DNA sequence: CTGTTAGCGCATTCAA
DNA sequence: TTGAATGCGCTAACAG
């Protein structure tokens, strides 16, 4: 049972042909006689011959494999993203090597190293939060491995980045709150190091300005996005003398944590304090006490674009040359149960 | 910039040595002179030499890659599982090629074909629900690719399967319901073709028996696990003349759908009708209107065991020879908010 | 139409 | 202590 899979050589020997003839016959090369072709194909069939992809890849100096590194597959945003990437990869006859950084910078760089050593043909990356060292970019560049960032992207302009433009959603959120009569609107933001945090903040300020509401720095909170910190921040928020009546959360996860605190403090969700968050969990529609609305960032669309561009690069097709591609986010109102 | 990565030959040429000497020097082979070794290492360093894994794998007739095929990464059960597998793979210096079947049998077989063609060293599979054709098992066997199943496993004894033994959790669930005074306990089960459904059913019957409650066939429902069907079934359940006061759901997803229907019909969760489900969503703790309890199936443990065994097979280590390994499930009571 | 040859990058056996 | 030669499976340039 431990018989090695048949090879071209094997077939050639049995048929007293050369491997090249066999190779060509199998791919219907016009210069091979019909009879020979048939004989070869017949035996190949019998032996269950299958070309050894690894050998072919090796010869062609390609791996037909891309690496995808994401913070966390358990976030629906990323599981949606990987599905989109997988589909595109399948179309292109590529396989996907997966890596989860778990938002740990060290883990992330280990994964990237492995991918580089495996000489994947390209990489799609959504960086771990709090990543501070981007040396891997140069390292990959030296190895001629193209990389495309999406969603969580580094704050530098020499790389290709696909992002969601958070401002439209943020502005809509504030408009919505204002039209509901809120004027004490807080923001629970993420780490300053994230581009995504900066953009949320900008959108927040612009949205308030547009509605002639002065920015109150006391209403701007920063969490490291851990459950504890989300809760800590929310407790602070609630304790404010002039408590905000509306809160925009960095993400749906933050909303979950903060709403929990609100409830524990006896506040009624979307009555005593209203919530809008980012990400648009698919699960919201199933549960009560959800935010009024959630801002969709179109994970699938971002990821697909990232994959499209990566394969353009890999196949050295013409690309638009754009380095930063941004899709507008969009506020989605959630039905109240 | 399009310079190829340095090779052994490159180094050898520059140093006027043979590739074999260079090869050996780089791995501190004792028979190479210290001076030569140093010279080689120095130049390798300067050139940023890195062995070409692909070539090594090719030569060794291995790929150092395993395939993992799961129904759906967006289910937390599976994202937990893949993390466990990834960790083990990293330990063993393997990479993971990922595939999502999306519970589509055709898609699943396409993925398995691809993995086979890529000659991965092994496969871990949780089969798509409704899979009816298991020919791929023979196909992989012929290709000498070991495969380990977990969680959703085929109903045949010639393969290695890691499962969660659902009975303990199911019995606990019924005990819990009974001790709360319920005796009209329904089961919303999945497709009959799933071993997992059969086991739930058995556990259900045994649990009732143990508590001297006769089995009422009207209280046993089968859903294809789609949202629509879950809802349809729940509507039927509610419409029963002697409506069950407690429901055990195939999964947390089923619970979400059915609880929604219950609420729409004006029933109060865990008062008019109580729920227990399988899987133990991490998110339950954040939301209201959740089941009384959820049955933990220990995704991580199952997946890790699957990976352990797979690597034992790949490395031809001794294995226990057990074909079916089963971990008891366990009822987890969920805090009421 | 078909065969010979060379080579992808590396490890390894055998010879020097 | 080092080098030459071989081969993993396949493709392709070149020769017949």
Interface test with A, best of B7, B46, B54, B265 (most A CBs within 10 A): B54
Q: Which helix (DSSP H) or strand (DSSP E) does residue B70 occupy?
A: strand B65-70
Q: Which residues of A touch B54 (CB under 8 A)?
A: 54, 57-58, 63, 118-119
Q: Which of B53, B114, B257 lies closest to A117 in CB terms? A: B53
pLDDT for A1: 40
Q: What is the mean pLDDT of residues B108-129?
A: 94
Residues 39-78 of A with CB under 7 A from strand D: 51-52, 55-56, 58-59
Nearest CA in chain B to A254: B286
Question: What distances in angstroms separate CA B85 from CA A63, B126, B162, one per listed residue?
Answer: 23, 12, 13
Contacts of B282 in chain A (CB under 8 A): 74
CB B201 within 8 A of CB B321: no
Amino acid A4: pLDDT:
77
Half-sphere exposure of B4 (CA within 13 A, CB side): 10
CA A174 to C1' D16, whole Å: 80
pTM equals 0.90
Contacts (Cβ under 8 Å, ≥6 apart) of A252: A277, A278, A279, A280, A281, A284, A291, A294
Secondary structure of residue B324 in the 3-state scheme: strand
What is the helix (H) or strand (E) element at residue A72, kind and residue range? none
Averaged pLDDT for residues B126-132: 88
pLDDT at residue B336 in the model: 67
Average pLDDT over residues B328-333: 96
Strand D footprint nucleotides (protein C-beta < 7 Å): 1-5, 7-13
Is the predicted pLDDT of residue B186 greater than 90, yes or no? yes
- Bases on strand C under 7 Å from any protein CB: 1-13
Model pLDDT, residue A336:
67
Q: Name the one residue in this structure whose structure tokens are 């790949």.
A: B314
Interatomic CA–C1' length for residue A57 and nucleotide C14, angstroms:
31
Q: Name the residue with the least CA to C1' distance from nucleotide C7.
A: A59
| A27 close to B (CB below 8 A) | no
User: Could you give the angle at which helices B8-15 and B19-26 cross, rounded to 10 degrees?
Assistant: 110
Helices A19-26, A8-15: inter-axial angle, 10-degree rounding: 110
Spell out the domains of chain A, with CATH numbers in brackets. Answer: 8-51 (no CATH), 63-164+299-327 (3.40.50.2300), 165-296 (3.40.50.2300)
Helix B34-47 vs helix B19-26: crossing angle, to nearest 10: 90
Which residues have a Cβ under 8 Å from the Cβ of A325 and sit 6 or more positions away? A160, A161, A162, A163, A305, A309
* Chain position carrying tokens 């499962």: B163
pLDDT of residue B335: 78
Share the mean pLDDT of chain B.
92
Per-residue pLDDT of chain A (337 residues; tens, 9 = 90+): 456 788 998 889 889 998 999 999 998 888 888 888 988 889 999 888 999 998 999 998 899 999 999 999 988 899 999 999 999 999 999 999 999 999 999 999 999 999 999 999 999 999 998 788 999 999 999 899 999 999 999 989 999 999 999 999 999 999 999 999 999 999 999 988 778 899 999 999 999 999 999 999 999 999 999 999 999 999 999 999 999 999 999 999 999 999 999 999 999 999 999 999 999 888 888 888 899 999 999 999 999 999 999 999 999 888 888 999 999 999 999 976 5
- Contacting residues for A74 by C-beta, under 8 A, at least 6 apart: B76, B79, B80, B83, B282
B192 — contact with chain A (CB < 8 Å)? no
Whole-number pLDDT of residue B166: 94
Nearest-CA residue relative to C1' of C13: B20
Q: pLDDT tens digits, residue range B262-317?
A: 999 999 999 999 999 999 888 888 888 899 999 999 999 999 999 999 999 999 88
CB contact under 8 A, B86 and A100: yes
Which nucleotide is closest to B24, CA to C1'? C11
Give tens-digit pLDDT for B91-102: 999 999 999 999
> Which residue's C-alpha is at the least distance from the C1' of D5?
B20
Among A286, A299, A303, A334, the residue to mutate for chain B (most B Cβ within 10 A): A286
Judged by CB atoms within 8 Å, which residues 62-121 of B form the interface with A?
A: 63, 65, 72-74, 76, 79-80, 82-83, 86, 90, 95-100, 102, 110, 114-115, 117-119
């Amino acid at each position: 049972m431990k018989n090695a899979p048949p090879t071209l050589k094997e077939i050639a020997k049995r048929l007293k042909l050369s491997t090249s003839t066999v190779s060509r016959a199998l791919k219907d090369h016009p210069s091979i006689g019909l009879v020979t072709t048939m004989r070869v194909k017949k035996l190949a069939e019998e032996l269950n011959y299958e070309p050894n992809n690894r050998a072919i890849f090796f010869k062609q100096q390609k791996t037909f494999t891309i690496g995808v590194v994401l913070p966390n597959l358990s976030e629906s945003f990323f599981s949606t993203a990987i599905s989109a990437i997988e589909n595109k990869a399948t179309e292109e006859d590529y396989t996907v090597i997966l890596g989860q950084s778990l938002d740990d910078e060290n883990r992330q760089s280990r994964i990237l190293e492995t991918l580089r050593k495996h000489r994947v043909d390209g990489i799609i990356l959504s960086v771990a939060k709090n990543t501070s060292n981007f040396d891997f970019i140069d390292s990959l560049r030296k190895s001629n491995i193209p990389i495309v960032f999406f969603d969580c992207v580094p704050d530098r302009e020499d790389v290709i980045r696909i992002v969601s433009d958070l401002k439209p959603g943020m502005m809509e959120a504030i408009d919505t709150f204002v039209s509901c009569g809120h004027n004490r609107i807080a923001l629970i933001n993420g780490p300053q190091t994230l581009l995504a945090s900066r953009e949320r903040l900008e959108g927040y300020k612009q949205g308030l300005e547009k509605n002639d509401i002065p920015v109150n720095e006391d209403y701007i909170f920063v969490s490291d996005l851990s459950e504890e910190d989300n809760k800590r921040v929310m407790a602070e928020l609630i304790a404010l003398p002039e408590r905000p009546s509306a809160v925009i959360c960095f993400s749906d996860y933050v909303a979950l944590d903060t709403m929990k605190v609100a409830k524990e403090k006896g506040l009624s969700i979307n009555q005593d304090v209203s919530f809008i968050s980012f990400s648009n969990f698919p699960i919201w529609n199933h549960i009560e006490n959800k935010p009024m609305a959630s801002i969709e960032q179109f994970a699938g669309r971002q990821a697909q674009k990232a994959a499209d561009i990566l394969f353009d690069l890999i196949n050295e097709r013409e690309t638009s040359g754009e380095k930063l591609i941004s899709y507008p986010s969009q506020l989605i109102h959630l039905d109240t149960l």
